[in-house]
Amino acid sequence: MKTIVIVAHPTVNSSGTQQFLKEALQSAQEVKWHPLSWALMQDAGTIVQERRMLHSYTRIIFQFPLYWHQAPALLHFWLEKVLQTTDREWLAGKELGLVVSLGRPLSVYRQGGSVGVSLSELLSPFSAIAHQLQLKLLPFFEITQFYYLSAVQKQCLLIKYLQYLELEQPATFAQKEEWFVKRFRKMLQEQGDTEVTLPQKELVKLFQERAEELAELKAELALMKEEDED
Amino acid sequence: MKTIVIVAHPTVNSSGTQQFLKEALQSAQEVKWHPLSWALMQDAGTIVQERRMLHSYTRIIFQFPLYWHQAPALLHFWLEKVLQTTDREWLAGKELGLVVSLGRPLSVYRQGGSVGVSLSELLSPFSAIAHQLQLKLLPFFEITQFYYLSAVQKQCLLIKYLQYLELEQPATFAQKEEWFVKRFRKMLQEQGDTEVTLPQKELVKLFQERAEELAELKAELALMKEEDED
């Protein structure tokens, strides 16, 4: 699966959140970072290029902050210029995901909250777009109050973000685990065998043993259920 | 009450719907037609002017077609450039209305319909904006499939549109009736007494008599209720 992240942020280079996410993508092999800009959108040749580019990806992600509770004008402009209502023909079957960064906690997006409307409602136009173009809509991925996150919370965000982009959705626990082991192994390989500490090696080993144990337990449970049904 | 209609349509001059609505406004005294354009929005001085202008109006209307189930990029750009989150201070108490033109019938905007999402959901960001700025949100006014309307249907649309812009909302039957008589009288006056036909004069007279009759009946009903309560 190949994923393109279409980033609609008017000042993407000075956004801490967006730069963090961009950095995160450096370790993702099959994910393209594609920031939009007004300058880019003024060029007539861009439209053809943008359309051609979309053909190569099976998962399309729109990534943006909310401005006035909606995607920024830049994304709307891109949608108006690049997509056509007849594009269902070649877009159908691809996946559409949304990565939305919020300055406020998720709890304000509900009845009685300071926004008073749910994020699902605010993002419903994308649900209608997906429906119209026969795209498979993924549950949106929200990033709330990035600036208040601790270093550990940022690491957790990074993992969840990469899994959102790279894994089949919704991802099972086993898939997430497998993703983790692969990543960890790759990281250790890149560090070089001499630099890898014993605790690091032990951790990967432990992680994998646990995964195997879990798989065995699941198989046992399945067997028990089968016997019950007999 | 003074109303401003902020029109966000990238090709407003060639839109039949928008030109019809613009024409309609010529007979409205307290309503300003204010089309947005990309050229206008590029000028730094515009922002200050736009903000100053808003001060003079008590009812702000955003008028637009839906592009990809959302307001056009032009309106999003205007929102991002012109409004500030602190504007509640001076905007609070004003009214916000939406005039939305649709190429499809309203029946597709529901679960199971070809759009699959209600118009209320798609327009929910404006509900959140109104909530945030303490604007009084009016029920939206939709114009569906303008090009298929007959001449009579267009006349009905014109009346409802003007009443949406000019009357207190929600307008009572009596208010609509009064609005009608005033309009009709003014029209006859402008035609000049000599040109007014007898049937026209009779129509106004009849209309007014009916209105008086209705008012009397209402008063009588109120009296009966009062007596019941004694």
Calculate what percentage of chain A has a pLDDT beyond 90: 67
ipTM of the complex: 0.87
The CATH label, of 3.40.50.261, 3.40.50.360, 3.10.20.30, 3.30.300.90, for the domain at B3-168 is 3.40.50.360
Which structure tokens are listed for A162?
């990469």
Q: Is beta strand A3-7 parallel, antiparallel or unpaired with respect to A59-65?
A: parallel
* Cβ–Cβ below 8 Å for B73 and A71: no
- Beta-bridge partners for B137: B96
| Percent of chain B topping pLDDT 70 | 98
Measured between beta carbons, which residues in chain B are less than 8 angstroms from residue A80?
10, 67-68, 72-73
Tell me if B98 sits within 8 A of B58, measured CB to CB. no
Q: For an interface test with A, which of B11, B70, B100 has the most A Cβ atoms less than 10 Å from its Cβ?
A: B70
- The beta-carbon contacts of A21-27 under 8 Å, at least 24 apart in sequence, are A21/A63, A21/A99, A21/A143, A21/A161, A24/A158, A24/A161, A24/A162, A25/A162, A25/A165, A27/A162, A27/A183
d(CA B15, CA B99): 15
Return the number of other C-beta atoms located less than 10 Å from residue A28's C-beta: 16
The residue ranking higher by pLDDT, A1 or B155, is B155
Residue of B nearest to A108 (CA): B128
pLDDT confidence of residue A196: 66
The pLDDT tens digits of the residues spanning A156-168 come to 999 999 999 999 9
Q: Which of A68, A72, A124 sits opposite B129 (nearest CB)?
A: A68
A110-129 residues touching B, CB cutoff 8 A: 114-117, 121-122, 124-125, 127-129
pLDDT at B55: 94
CA distance A149 to A147: 6
> What distance in Å separates the CA atoms of residue A62 and residue A140, rounded to the nearest whole number?
10
Where do the structural domains in chain B lie, given as residue ranges? 3-168, 172-230
Q: Is the dihedral of CA B89, B91, B94, B96 positive or negative?
A: negative
Distance (Å, whole) CA B134 – CA B128 = 10
Average pLDDT over residues B4-32: 95
Question: Which of B33, B28, B17 shows the shortest CA–CA distance to B154?
Answer: B17
| Contact with chain A for residue B69, Cβ under 8 A | yes
Q: Where are the beta strands (DSSP E) in chain B?
A: 3-7, 31-35, 59-65, 95-102, 136-137, 141-144
**Are B124 and A117 in contact (CB < 8 Å)?**
yes
Give the pLDDT band (50/70/90) at residue A194: low
Peptide bond before B35: cis, by omega within 30 degrees of 0?
no
Q: Is the dihedral of CA B95, B132, B117, A78 positive or negative?
A: positive
